Amino acid sequence: MGLLENKVVLITGASRGIGRSIAVECVKQGAKVAFTYLSSAEKAKALEDELTANGGIAKGFKSDASDFDQAQQLVEEVVKEFETVDVLINNAGITRDTLLMRMTEEQWDEVISTNLKSAFNLTKAVIRPMLKARSGSIINMSSVVGVSGNAGQANYAASKAGLIGFTKSIAQELGSRNIRCNAIAPGFIETEMTGSLDEKVVQEWRNSIPLKRGGTPEDVSNLTVFLASDMSAYITGQTLNVCGGMLM
Ligand code: NAP
C-alpha cells in the first residue's frame, strides 16, 4: 500500500520542475492528484496522460494561483471531482531577479503575488473541506533564500520568508483541528527555473555545496510525500531544508 493511498492531493504549478516530480511521486504512492499550471497547457496534458496511463487518478487544471477568485473556483472544481482535499501543496513560484536598484514595482508585485499571495488564496480555499474532514496537510514551497536572503533576489527572498511566517501561523491556528502546515526550503535544485543560469556559475555552486551536487526534483518530492503522509502526523509548523547541506 502506498503512503498516500486514497488521499486527494492538490499541487499548484506542476507542469514542470519540482511540482511535476511531486505529482508523479504522489500518484505512485496511491494519491488522487489535482494539479495546476498557468501557461504550459501541452506539458500539463502530457503529465495528465502519464499519470493516468497505469490506472492513476489525476487531472490538470489551468488556474492562476495568484488570483484569489480563480483559487476559490479551482478548489470548488477539485472538490466536485474528488470530493475533498486532504493535502495542499503550494508549489507555484517564479523569479524576477535583479538588484533592488533596478527592480521595478511590477517585478516586486508579480513575485509577491505568485509566490506568497497564492498560498493565502489556496489555503483559504481548502480550509473548508479540511475542517470538515478534521484533518489536512498543507505544504508551502519556500526556499533557503527565504531564511538567508540573497543579493539580487529581494522580492523572491521576501516572498519565501513570508511563506515561513505564514506556515507557522497556520500551524498554530489549525493545529487543534488536526490540520498541519509545514514549509520546505529547497536549496539549489536543477530545474528549468535554474536552467537559464551560466554553467560556470552553476558549477561553482555545486562545488560549494557539502554534498557536491545540485539537488534533483526527486530530492524535494521525497520529503513532500513524507510531509503529506501520516508518517509525519506529529510534525507541524516546521521548515525543512532540502539543500545538500548548503544551509545549516
Ligand atoms: P519551474 O520549473 O519554473 O516551475 C514553476 C511551475 O509553477 C510551473 O509549473 C508553472 O506553470 C507554475 N506557475 C508559475 N506561475 C504560476 C501561477 N501564477 N499559477 C499557477 N502556476 C504557476 O520551478 P521549480 O524550480 O520547479 O520551482 C518550484 C517551486 O520551488 C517554486 O516555488 C520555487 O520558488 C521553489 N524553489 C525552487 C528552487 C530551485 O532551485 N529550482 C529552489 C528553492 C525553491 P507554467 O509551466 O504553466 O508556467
239 Cα–ligand 1 center, Å: 18
Query: Minimal CA–CA distance to 90: which of 122, 56, 63?
Result: 122
Averaged over 173-185, what is the pLDDT?
Answer: 98
pLDDT in tens, 199-214: 999 999 999 999 999 9
Residue closest via CA to ligand 1's atom 34 equals 93
pTM of the full structure: 0.98
Q: Residues enclosing ligand 1, CB less than 6 A?
A: 12-19, 36-40, 64-66, 91-94, 114, 141, 143, 186, 188-189, 191-194
**What percent of the chain has pLDDT above 70?**
100
pLDDT in tens, 39-91: 999 999 999 999 999 999 999 999 999 999 999 999 999 999 999 999 999 99
Coil, strand or helix at 39: coil
- What confidence tier does 192 reach under pLDDT thresholds 50, 70, 90? confident
Query: Minimal CA–CA distance to 184: which of 97, 71, 89?
Result: 89
Residue closest via CA to ligand 1's atom 33 equals 93
Averaged over 5-29, what is the pLDDT?
Answer: 98
Ligand 1 atom nearest to 191, measured from its CA: 25
Is pLDDT at 157 greater than 90 in this prediction?
Answer: yes
What is the longest distance spanned by two Cα atoms in the chain? 53
**What is the CA 93 to chain-centroid distance, rounded?**
8
Taking the domains of the chain in order of start, what are their residue ranges?
8-242
**Mean pLDDT across the chain:** 97
Residue closest via CA to ligand 1's atom 21 equals 13
Cell 504512492 belongs to which residue? 29
- What confidence tier does 193 reach under pLDDT thresholds 50, 70, 90? confident
Ligand 1 atom nearest to 65, measured from its CA: 19
Coil, strand or helix at 122: helix
Q: What is the pLDDT at residue 131?
A: 98
Element at 92 (helix H, strand E): none
> Under CATH, domain 8-242 is a member of which superfamily?
NAD(P)-binding Rossmann-like Domain (3.40.50.720)
Averaged over 160-184, what is the pLDDT?
Answer: 99
27-41 CB burial, b ≥16 within 10 A, e <16 = bbbbbbbbbbbbebe
215 Cα–ligand 1 center, Å: 15
- What confidence tier does 125 reach under pLDDT thresholds 50, 70, 90? very high
Residue closest via CA to ligand 1's atom 2 equals 17
- What confidence tier does 194 reach under pLDDT thresholds 50, 70, 90? confident
Give the catalytic positions in this structure: 156
Ligand 1 atom nearest to 193, measured from its CA: 3
Is pLDDT at 229 greater than 90 in this prediction?
Answer: yes
Q: What does the CA dihedral 188, 12, 232, 162 come to, rounded to 10 degrees?
A: 60
11 Cα–ligand 1 center, Å: 11
CB 20 within 8 A of CB 51: no
CA atoms within 13 A on the CB side of 121: 25
Q: What is the pLDDT at residue 138?
A: 99
CA distance 93 to 66: 10
Averaged over 9-35, what is the pLDDT?
Answer: 98
Residue of 166, 193, 242, 247 to test ligand 1 pocket, by largest number of atoms within 8 Å of CB? 193
- What confidence tier does 139 reach under pLDDT thresholds 50, 70, 90? very high
